[in-house]
Amino acid sequence: MSHSINLAPVNSLDHAGFVGAFASVFEHFPQAAEGAWSVRPFASATALHDAMMDVIRNLDDQSQRAFLNLHPLLSGANIHSGTMTADSDAEQKSAGLDAMSNEQEASLDRLNAAYLERHGFPFIICVRHYTREGIFSALERRIGRSTQQELDEALAQIAAITRARLNARLHALN
C-alpha cells in the first residue's frame, strides 16, 4: 500500500463515518471495520489493514468458516445474475470470468463444487493476480490440499483482496 496516503482524515472519522467508509472492504463483513475502529489512530495504511485482518484472524474456527462462506463462488453465472457485491463483480470480470465458454463455465462449476465439498467453504483467490487459466490451475491444485492449508491460503488471499480494496477507498478519501 502506498505510504503517501494521509490518514488524518481516516483517524478523525467518527464511528459511523469510519464504518461507513470501510464496511464493504471485507465481503459482507462490516465487523472488520467495526473492530478496527476501536484501535485508532493508524500510523499507516498497512496498520489499518492489519487491524482489520486481526479481526478475521481472531475469530473462532466456526466464525472464521462462516466468514469464508460469505464469499461468492467464482462463476460467470454469478456475474451475470447481478447478485455479487460491486467489488466482487469487478474483480471477477477483471479475470475474464464473465466471458467464458459454456465448457469453461461447466468446468468451473464442477471444480467449485469439488472444492466446496472437500473444504466446506468456497475457493477464494485474489483474481486480479491471475489469468483465467491461472485461476483454473490454482483451483485444480488446491482441491487436493488439506483443509488447514486451504484455511490459511484463503486468509492470505483475502488479505491480498482486501488490501487492494482498502487502498482504493483510502485514495478516494484523500
Q: Which residues are catalytic?
A: 71
**Other beta carbons less than 10 A from residue 81's beta carbon:** 11
Separation CA 64–CA 59 (nearest Å): 5
CA nearest to 40, candidates 51, 56, 25, 55: 51
Q: Residue 15 half-sphere exposure, CB side, CA atoms within 13 Å?
A: 4
